[in-house]
Structure 1
Amino acid sequence: MTIIYSKKRFPPPPYDVEVEDMNYYRLLYGGDHDQIFPRARSIQTTERVFRRSRPGLIRRGMSADIKITSEHQYVVVNFASLVAEVPADLINRALGNVSADVEAGPELEFVSAVVTASKPNDKIWSAITQHQVDGLIAYRIRRSAKGKVWFEWVLGDRFFPHEDGSGADLAWIEEWDDRRGSKLKFLRVERQELSDEGLTIQQQVYEMDGETVGDQIDINQYAVTYEIEIPDDETLKDVTELLCGFVINDETLLHPRGRSALRNIDTIQEEINWTITRDSIVFDKHGKPKLAIPRALWDTVANQNQRDYGARFVRGADLEVVSFDEKTGAIPQYITWDAKTDQSFKHVERLIRYLLAVSKTSVQAAGLEDAKGDTGIALLYLWIQSVIKAEAIQAKFDGAIKDAIRKCMLLENAIGKGGLKPVNPVIEWGTMLPKAESEKDEEESKKYVDGVQSLETTVRRMHPDWSEEAIAAEIQKIQDEKAVDTLNPTYTQPPRVTV
């Protein structure tokens, strides 16, 4: 069953609740906690609003719409961003070469072209981070008029699968200036549906009034009006699957579209912020030294100001050069207030550890404990919690990247030159944690000597930054040296004996 947009609010139910959750966790990840936490707003007085890129920061050249005035600053120590980014850091480091599962042929060249156009190594970090924040990220296959094929990651709040499982919509909002100082909003929809004839791909556009979708308008006229290129509707025969897909995080039977990795830590994050903010307020109020002077000295300076200015007062400038009582030794002194905050600091550390435990993040990733290991194995055990979590996410993205490239082959066979065998490519994954060069080289060499790894794979892993030509040249050198060694056999002399 397809989704009906006209005369309804966008996003459509039941996806509207998911999109609302995504927006909430995006604010949590981005550090915009003054928009979601009540205690952050309780210390602020709103007069006008600034357009700002971050809380408290104003971009140059921007007019002031909202102004936030506050006696104290709400302090954000955002561990939520760390929870989302640690798996992305580990997997980004591990992703290696992507190639076809053949030694030669059109599949090898095509996969290489898709990888070059899609840039999975460059975009994997942002995709995984968004996947952790939103709980869902999608991808779709694209093909240009010149025949270039690639896949791209799509935000989860733009992907709406049909309930019957035979279709999906990619929907997003476009805004255009109406040349009268306001914006015109339109809803763009790319609909993919499977039928007996194959896969049908349609392009639709709707007017929008606020959050409500209006009538559908002619897509060709829309493209001409705003000078954009929109693909024509078409049916791809013999294509039996959608040219899009999605990767979900921590799905359950009650949450089949996944859940954010930041769930259950928002209240802990807010308590961390508030505790640190409260301490900063205490230090700001009581941490500044106060100058205490003897009463006789105060009277002396005040009387002098009475004679000079007609009023009794004491200024800080009046005390820059002062005298002291030679008989009593009374001199000015600074009074400082020693705040007892040890328990508060321990409370913050406990909260951080709770947050990391709930989010399955190792304490070493947060810098709370030493993250150094004598060997790669020792380092692995220190980071084991984060590595286990990252490996589960890596397995999902491994399947998604393979599926996306295979779908690229299906699209090329349908409307391109064809002749490709649509099979999953090969993705090389390295280690997530760094190792010493000597330790890594020793492990790779042992695999080759034991016969469980080829010479090409060994050279490639030992020199991941080398080009294909350099790798091929190194393999040839090693093979040539082995061939030379076989031409010089070692003759073993028999042992000496006495007859």
Structure 2
Amino acid sequence: MTIVYLKEKFPPPPFDVEVEQMQYFRDLYEGNHENIFPRAQELAKQGQITKSDLRKSRRKYYKYNADKLAQKHAVHHYVIINFASVIAELPADLINRSLGNVSADTENDKELLTFVQNVSYKSKLNQKIWSAVVQHQVDGGVAYRIRRDVKGTWFEWKPADLYFEHEDGPGADIAWIEIRGKENYLRVERQRIEDNQLSIQQLVFSMSEDSIKEEIDIKDYAVQFNLAIPDNQTFESIGELMCGFVPNDETLLIPRGRSGLRNIDVIQEEINWTITRDSIVFEMHGKPKLAIPRALWDNVANKNQKYYGERFVRNADLEVVSYDEKNGAVPMYITWDAKTEQSFNHVKSLIDRMLAISKTSLQAAGMDNDTGGRSAIAILYEWIQSVIKSEAIRDKFDIAIKDALRKCIILENALGGTNYSASDPVIEWQDMLPKAESEVADEEIKKYSEGVQSLETTVRNLHPSWSEKAIAAEVEKIQEEQATDSFSPTFTQPPKANVGES
């Protein structure tokens, strides 16, 4: 059963509730906390925000334009220490660092090797992996779609709120809103498997706010706005969708995944509010105040009443003052001795709990003050919680990237007339944590010496920034030197001599 858009609101049910949650966690990640936290909204209310503008229900959250409201009504004094962004970005940092070489699972098919390398390059795999993992953590999932156009075959990552599976299973819609002038249009790419063949259909609908009005002919739409939209296609040789979805922490009840920021929003608000409360108190009472004798105040106030008709004392009136020689009364500053240690301890305790709930190690979040030199193994054990979490996420992306590249091969065979072997490629994942060059060199040399790793892989790991041509040249040079050192007759001949001559 496909999704019905006509005369319905977008996003379509039952995905609308899920999209509301995504919007909520996106604001949490971006630091737009004044849009989602009640106490921040209450503080904003004191800054002339009307009660009708405040949103306290997550169910109604998606129905309001949070960005415009935040720009129109600035929230004063609300301090945001956004650990939610650290929690979402840390796995992306580790996975982005560990992504290595991507190649086809063959040594003989040079054309397939070149094709897989071109797909990785055109898909900007190394540049896009960080943003894909971050979106995966914030939204609770991320989608991908296979493309083929004038620049070749490639794949792209898509946010989870644009990917909608069909209820009966063998189909999915990738839907997005296009803004043309003052009008909004809903574009849909519908992929569906029927009778062991894949059909890809392009649809477009006119919109009124968040509701779908009517369907428009896709060719007329392309001509009107001068767009290059592919025709509807049917592939008899393809039996799988040219798209996919990567859920995060999915369960049997929530198969599309859950946000990596769940369960920490309340703690994040308490951290913000505790620091904000201290900030407000500091601003109100932290400035030094000048205390003067009563007689001096009366003297200056009486003069001002004589000159201006009102008793008051200005700061300028006290720039030059006299004092009473008999009593020794002179002006003095009063400073506020604030006791904030308990408040700071409370914030630290909240941060520790937030990191524990999100499976983030204290050292990985930058909360460890120990700056001493430690080995990679020692750092690993300190970061172990974050590394284990990131490795689980990496395994999902490993499957997704291999699946996307394999589908690129299938689509190229169907449209490009090739006959490549449609198998999973090989992805070389490196260590997530940095190591000293000496440690890396020792480990790689040991692997090569013990015969568990090839010379080519050793050189590539020692010089990850080198090109394939440079790596091949270095391997050839090392092999020649090894052959020379071994005095092999194949490579090294003894010097010529004439026997019997003086």
Deviation for aligned residue 1:109: 1.0
Check the 8 A contact 1:48/1:67 in 2, yes or no.
no
| CA gap 1:488/1:229 in 2 versus in 1, 3 angstroms | closer
Q: Which residue of 2 is the match for residue 277 of structure 1?
A: 276
Q: Which residue of 2 is the match for residue 164 of structure 1?
A: 168
1:43-58 matches, within 5 Å, as: 43-45=43-45
1:53-452 matches, within 5 Å, as: 67-68=72-73, 72-104=76-108, 105-144=110-149, 146=150, 148-177=152-181, 183-196=182-195, 198-370=197-369, 374-452=374-452
3-state SS of 1:329 partner: coil
3-state SS of 1:364 partner: coil
Cα deviation per residue 1:52-110 (whole Å; 9 max; x = unaligned)?
A: xxxxxxxxxx999964266x411111111111000001111111111111224211011
Deviation for aligned residue 1:172: 0.9
- The count of corresponding residues between Structure 1 and Structure 2 is 470
After TM superposition, the runs of 4+ consecutive aligned structure 1 residues lying more than 4 A away are: 46-49, 62-66
Q: Which residue of 2 is the match for residue 57 of structure 1?
A: none
Cα deviation per residue 1:423-460 (whole Å; 9 max; x = unaligned)?
A: 11111111111111101111111000011100000000
Letter of the structure 2 residue corresponding to residue 98 of structure 1: V
Q: Structure 2: where are the runs of 5+ without partners? A: 51-66, 490-502
3-state SS of 1:433 partner: coil
Deviation for aligned residue 1:305: 2.7
3-state SS of 2:364 partner: helix
Q: Distance in 1 between matches of 2:85 and 2:41?
A: 21
Deviation for aligned residue 1:303: 3.1
Check the 8 A contact 1:73/1:277 in 2, yes or no.
yes
Q: Which residue of 1 is the match for residue 471 of structure 2?
A: 471
Query: TM-score if structure 2 supplies the norm length?
Result: 0.90
Q: Structure 1: where are the runs of 5+ without partners? A: 50-61, 178-182, 490-499
Letter of the structure 2 residue corresponding to residue 136 of structure 1: G
Letter of the structure 2 residue corresponding to residue 122 of structure 1: Q
Q: Distance in 2 between matches of 1:208 and 1:47?
A: 34
Cα deviation per residue 1:313-337 (whole Å; 9 max; x = unaligned)?
A: 2110011111222222211111112
Q: Distance in 2 between matches of 1:371 and 1:168?
A: 50
Q: Distance in 1 between matches of 2:287 and 2:444?
A: 60
| CA gap 1:472/1:301 in 2 versus in 1, 3 angstroms | same
Deviation for aligned residue 1:147: 5.7
3-state SS of 2:363 partner: helix
3-state SS of 1:160 partner: strand
| CA gap 1:359/1:371 in 2 versus in 1, 3 angstroms | farther
Q: Which residue of 2 is the match for residue 59 of structure 1?
A: none
Q: Distance in 1 between matches of 2:483 and 2:139?
A: 56
Deviation for aligned residue 1:298: 1.5
Check the 8 A contact 2:440/2:462 in 1, yes or no.
yes
Check the 8 A contact 1:237/1:414 in 2, yes or no.
no
Letter of the structure 2 residue corresponding to residue 350 of structure 1: S
Deviation for aligned residue 1:307: 3.9
Q: Distance in 1 between matches of 2:275 and 2:311?
A: 41
Q: Distance in 1 between matches of 2:14 and 2:381?
A: 42
Cα deviation per residue 1:193-252 (whole Å; 9 max; x = unaligned)?
A: 112251100001111122221221100001111111110001012101101001110011
| CA gap 1:256/1:197 in 2 versus in 1, 3 angstroms | closer
Q: Which residue of 2 is the match for residue 20 of structure 1?
A: 20
Q: Which residue of 2 is the match for residue 56 of structure 1?
A: none
Q: Distance in 1 between matches of 2:369 and 2:403?
A: 39
Query: TM-score if structure 1 supplies the norm length?
Result: 0.91
Deviation for aligned residue 1:154: 0.5
Q: Distance in 2 between matches of 1:236 and 1:156?
A: 26
Letter of the structure 2 residue corresponding to residue 330 of structure 1: A
Q: State which drifts further: 99-108 or 285-294.
A: 99-108
Deviation for aligned residue 1:488: 7.6
Letter of the structure 2 residue corresponding to residue 22 of structure 1: M
Superposition RMSD in Å: 1.9
- Percent identity reads 63
Check the 8 A contact 2:34/2:70 in 1, yes or no.
no
Q: Distance in 2 between matches of 1:231 and 1:466?
A: 39
Letter of the structure 2 residue corresponding to residue 323 of structure 1: S
Q: Distance in 1 between matches of 2:72 and 2:93?
A: 36
Check the 8 A contact 1:365/1:371 in 2, yes or no.
no
Q: Distance in 1 between matches of 2:14 and 2:68?
A: 38
Deviation for aligned residue 1:338: 1.5
Q: State which drifts further: 83-92 or 201-210.
A: 201-210
Check the 8 A contact 1:294/1:330 in 2, yes or no.
yes
Check the 8 A contact 2:174/2:188 in 1, yes or no.
yes
Letter of the structure 1 residue corresponding to residue 435 of structure 2: K
Check the 8 A contact 1:48/1:65 in 2, yes or no.
no
| CA gap 1:272/1:63 in 2 versus in 1, 3 angstroms | closer
Q: Distance in 1 between matches of 2:383 and 2:36?
A: 32
